[in-house]
Amino acid sequence: MTIAIVFTDQALQNMRRSLLNWYQREGRSLPWRNEPDIYRVWISEIMLQQTQVKTVIPYYERWLKKFPTVQALAKADQQSVLKLWEGLGYYARARNLHHAAKQVVSEFNGEFPEDLENILKLKGIGRTTAGGILSSARNLPLSILDGNVKRVLARIMALEKPPAKALRELWEVSDQILDPENPRDFNQAFMDLGATLCTQKNPSCGVCPWQGQCKAFQLRTPTDFPRKAPKKKVPTKKLVAAIAFNGQNEVFIQQRPVTGLLGGLWEFPNTEGNIASLTENLFPQAIYKHSLETVFHAYTHFKIELKPHIYFVSHHQGDRWVKMTNLHQYPFSKAHLKIIKQLSNHQQLSLPLEKNHP
């Protein structure tokens, strides 16, 4: 197996020293930095997956107040876990955290594993997350390959393939560059370099400690890297939602299946089909009131346009009718939170005159 790029021992020493010196001066102050509690580091690593630091910090702080230990998280019910995660996106992360906490309690006697083999047994933890946790919390010499690191390495190497097509090569270089004497600070510095200097747009090459080793800088085309994979057309799903109120001014909600996209979250009934078919199935005597503004939201592989329609239901069945003031107790996706925000601006929900579907 060939190495994608080979640095001399002197070059490696220079890179490690220059990065750590830069980090000492310019490194970010983050609440999970130099944290000895491996549980807290784990929570931060999962939250930081595909999410910016400024978004994560308030979630991280609220999470630790609610679930200060792995035992507290393991004892929690999934709904409270999802509610605390609400708005952070990629909800499988929250479900995996909950599942892994139960694994720690049942399989490891409540002690979070501190070796690579066992930590990889926990749901939701892969190689880069394991490296991030163990290098940060225990200073173990394990490399990482998150999004920031991939971008830095792709520029250093002037990598001609999209990172997703060159993971083996990227791991080899990350392993090679890692400072085995200071893995904690080195990995944190590596991520900070990508997050603050070697950014996707307008990188600050002039003050980068690795300017001399960067092939993309030498080519004077840093923003040409990482190479991008051909863009796939992102489909848009057009959905309609039925917002049904009863005579007690309660609104009907339903829960998504526990597994799959947005698993376990609550939502208003919706479909890609006809709104009349949806309401006739759920609320045969529903009276159309009016429509709200279309909600737009983008997921990783598709977008949605969700048009909410308000109905009044005089005779209803089912047990999940909730007062508007109690909706905050349930975890909703961002798209349906946007509907709730619109509803909160409609103080009057009087009966309509029309009975036709929109």
Q: Taking residues 312-326, report their average pLDDT.
A: 83
Does residue 120 form part of some domain? yes
Per-residue three-class SS string for the chain? CCCCCCCCHHHHHHHHHHHHHHHHHHCCCCCCCCCCCHHHHHHHHHHCCCCCHHHHHHHHHHHHHHCCCHHHHHHCCHHHHHHHHCCCCCCHHHHHHHHHHHHHHHHCCCCCCCCHHHHCCCCCCCHHHHHHHHHHHHCCCCCCCCHHHHHHHHHHHCCCCCHHHCHHHHHHHHHHHCCCCCHHHHHHHHHHHHHHHCCCCCCCHHHCCCHHHCHHHHCCCHHHCCCCCCCCCCCEEEEEEEEEEECCCEEECEECCCCCCCCCCEECCEECCCHHHHHHHHCCCCEEEEECCCEEEECCCCEEEEEEEEEEECCCCCCCEEEHHHHHHCCECHHHHHHHHHHHCCCCCCCCCCCCCC
Q: What are phi and psi of 2, to 5 degrees?
A: -90, 150
Q: What is the mean pLDDT of the chain?
A: 93
* Number of Cα atoms under 13 Å in the Cβ half of residue 165: 9
CATH of the domain at 255: 3.90.79.10
Does residue 41 form part of some domain? yes
Please report, rounded to a whole number, the percentage of residues in the chain having pLDDT higher than 70. 94
pLDDT digits (tens, 9 = 90+) for 205-226: 999 999 999 999 999 999 999 9
Does residue 109 form part of some domain? yes
pLDDT digits (tens, 9 = 90+) for 123-152: 999 999 999 999 999 999 999 999 999 999
Does residue 3 form part of some domain? no
Token readout for 85 is 């995660």
Same domain for 193 and 310, yes or no, is no
With CA atoms as reference, report the closest residue to 290 among 342, 238, 236: 342
**Is 111 noted as a catalytic residue in this protein?**
no
Residue 352 has pLDDT above 50, yes or no: no
Q: 352 or 12: which carries more pLDDT confidence?
A: 12
Does residue 355 form part of some domain? no
Same domain for 175 and 277, yes or no, is no
Same domain for 140 and 289, yes or no, is no
With CA atoms as reference, report the closest residue to 82 among 334, 265, 257, 260: 265
Count of the separate structural domains present in the chain: 2
Does residue 351 form part of some domain? no
**pLDDT score recorded for residue 353:** 40
Residue 348 has pLDDT above 60, yes or no: no
Same domain for 149 and 263, yes or no, is no
**pLDDT score recorded for residue 329:** 95
Same domain for 216 and 253, yes or no, is no
With CA atoms as reference, report the closest residue to 104 among 90, 91, 123, 117: 123
8 Å CB contact between 176 and 6: yes
**pLDDT score recorded for residue 260:** 87
**pLDDT score recorded for residue 300:** 85
Same domain for 79 and 218, yes or no, is yes
With CA atoms as reference, report the closest residue to 318 among 343, 272, 284: 284
- Amino acid, res. 302: F
Residue-range definition of the domain harbouring residue 103: 9-201+209-224
pLDDT digits (tens, 9 = 90+) for 282-307: 888 899 999 999 999 998 889 999 99
CATH of the domain at 30: 1.10.340.30
pLDDT digits (tens, 9 = 90+) for 78-108: 999 999 999 999 999 999 999 999 999 999 9
pLDDT interval class at 4 (50, 70, 90)? low
Residue 117 has pLDDT above 50, yes or no: yes
Same domain for 192 and 265, yes or no, is no
Same domain for 183 and 71, yes or no, is yes
Rounded to whole angstroms, the Cα distance separating 350 from 39 reads: 50
Residue appearing with tokens 């997703």? 164
Does residue 40 form part of some domain? yes
Same domain for 60 and 123, yes or no, is yes
**Residues 26, 35, 45, 181: which is the catalytic one?**
45
For the CA atoms of the chain, what is the radius of gyration? Answer: 25
- The pTM for the full model equals 0.89
